[in-house]
Structure 1
Amino acid sequence: MSKRQPKWAAWGDQQSAQQHYLIEPRYLAGGGDLRHVTEYLRASGWTDNTPRSSAALVFDSPDKTVRVAYQPPGGWQVHGAAHGHQAAWQVTLSPQTPVEIVAGLTDPLAKDRSAHAPNVWGPLVMNEWVTNAGQDFTAVSPNRDAFVQYVGVGADQHWWMGARNEHGAVWNLQATPTTPFHLLQGLTEALASPEPVMRPRGHVPPSNRIRVTSVSVLPEQLRAWQQARITAARTATWARNSVRVARPRAKTRHHAHQ
């Protein structure tokens, strides 16, 4: 199958129910399928610039100002170019960052920004994370297995997020202080969400810090859930582009010669 073609159709070819597992907390669920991120971007009009014969993934925004890349074994890198009043920014995420949390960052890149002022800490406080406004502002999950920190002292200012289980660090994320706040809020919303995430058989992390619920899923159900996400992206992109096309241009005033 060409990498330029939609890839959702390759999932779940067998017709019998397949064993999957709902895992919580989601930040300890393991990496997941990269297509959760990339197919949403593709459906939102992003360009797949992945080099041929490469294990890497590279997607560029329609205006060419943002690049989302995955390079094994290094993980995710998201770069934003400077434009207008926005300085250049960068976020790096290790490979075991759950794709649902990565999507908390990348999905908003494909959407119009909300008119409401972003609040990075709001989703954490709402979900009872413990905050500490010491030298560095920190929020820790109720079970103390995940954290968000802003290191704001000295020249090395940055955002730092991550999770760990009984075996040690599972994943981490670092973002420049210039990263747009609405993207950081998307990350904290995805990180703190109490909703479990689903993983197939063989992809459940070996940890006693997670809660696992076994579910049987028909391939057609899995395809329907995946297609609903793609359809939402296409619909939003179509609506956004339609508004831009329909928006009238400012009329040029012609001044009479005196």
Structure 2
Amino acid sequence: MNEDLRAFAEDKKGKFHCEVSPRHMAGLGDPRHITHSLRAAGWKHDGDRGLPQVLTSPDHSLGLVLDPLSPHQAWSVGSALMFVPGYWHAGFTRNAPVEIIAGLTDSLIRPAPAHAPTDVWETLAAAGWNVSDGPRWREASAPGQGLKIKQVGSDNRDDDHFWWRIQAVEQSYRGSVETVWSAALDQTTPPHIMAGLIQELVNPAALLRGSHDHGAHHRATQGDVFTAGPQIVAAHSDRMDAARAGARALARAA
């Protein structure tokens, strides 16, 4: 058992967990769901292990910054160098669930699929989301969920000048709309990276949250409470093993 997994297992002892739904209202969760997988894949801390955390890919082409205290972007991930061809960036605010963000970060540490991924809008429509068009945008929303993704661009929606915005919103008791969390991604985000994020965005499964976790929305529903036990540690270990295998495959493909 390596240092990361040993610390994770020790921290989970005696903690209680429950299922929280809908998943986009479950709150941040445990950041180690992402950072430990990246480290298992060979990403290195740039500097100390405090906050904000800065991790860099083995080839130094990608970077991740985690700053949970930031009021703007708690998660910032993408190209490590700006103003280079193919530069892209994605940012998520603090209450974005780590399991949804992991749809993107997990795609960074395994080879891209041999074939082009399914079109984003086809994936959203197949999941039952409502797709609508405007003069300068296209939007999809999950019925009754307060979750939407929008492609904002120029007057010609089919050109290359646009960006993605994801929002989880909830109507307050007073009728105003509250943004629970949001994300913004460049149009240059690689298609398979975007596809990984969308797959987790439309996933209907509830998320596990511990008694020590914070950030779940007051409208979220909690299921039965149970002790974490070895199952959660085993699942975390499996994620780290999968990350190592993906990194080896990525190195062979390169």
Q: Which TM-score band applies after superposition, normalised by the shorter structure? A: 0.7 to 0.9
One-letter amino acid matched to 2:88: W
2:188 pairs with 1:178? yes
Larger radius of gyration: 1
Instruction: Name the counterpart of 1:143.
Output: 144
Instruction: Name the counterpart of 2:198.
Output: 188
Instruction: Name the counterpart of 2:167.
Output: 162
Q: 1:114/1:15 Cα in 2 relative to 1: closer, same or farther (>3 Å)? A: closer
Return 5+ residue gaps in structure 1 as ranges. Answer: 246-258
Please give the residue correspondences for 1:92-107 in structure 2 after superposition, counting only pairs within 5 Å.
92-107=91-106
Please give the residue correspondences for 1:52-63 in structure 2 after superposition, counting only pairs within 5 Å.
52=48, 54-63=50-59
The partner residue of 2:241 within 231, 248, 254 is 231
Q: Conserved in 1, the CA contact under 8 Å of 2:15 and 2:212?
A: no
2:41 pairs with 1:31? no
Instruction: Name the counterpart of 1:222.
Output: 232
Q: Conserved in 1, the CA contact under 8 Å of 2:25 and 2:217?
A: no
Please give the residue correspondences for 1:107-126 in structure 2 after superposition, counting only pairs within 5 Å.
107-118=106-117, 119-126=119-126
| Structure 2 CA distance for aligned equivalents of residues 231 and 117 of structure 1 | 26
One-letter amino acid matched to 1:212: Q
Return 5+ residue gaps in structure 2 as ranges. Answer: 173-177
| Structure 2 CA distance for aligned equivalents of residues 52 and 14 of structure 1 | 20
Q: Conserved in 1, the CA contact under 8 Å of 2:95 and 2:181?
A: yes
Q: 1:212/1:61 Cα in 2 relative to 1: closer, same or farther (>3 Å)? A: same
| Structure 1 CA distance for aligned equivalents of residues 239 and 107 of structure 2 | 14
For the aligned residues, what is the CA RMSD? 2.6
One-letter amino acid matched to 1:22: E
Instruction: Name the counterpart of 2:75.
Output: 76
Q: 1:156/1:23 Cα in 2 relative to 1: closer, same or farther (>3 Å)? A: same
Give how far 1:10 is off.
2.3
| Structure 1 CA distance for aligned equivalents of residues 227 and 85 of structure 2 | 44
One-letter amino acid matched to 1:130: N
Instruction: Name the counterpart of 1:253.
Output: none
Q: How many residues are treated as equivalent by the alignment? A: 237
TM-score of the two chains, using structure 2 as the length reference: 0.83
| Structure 2 CA distance for aligned equivalents of residues 225 and 99 of structure 1 | 15
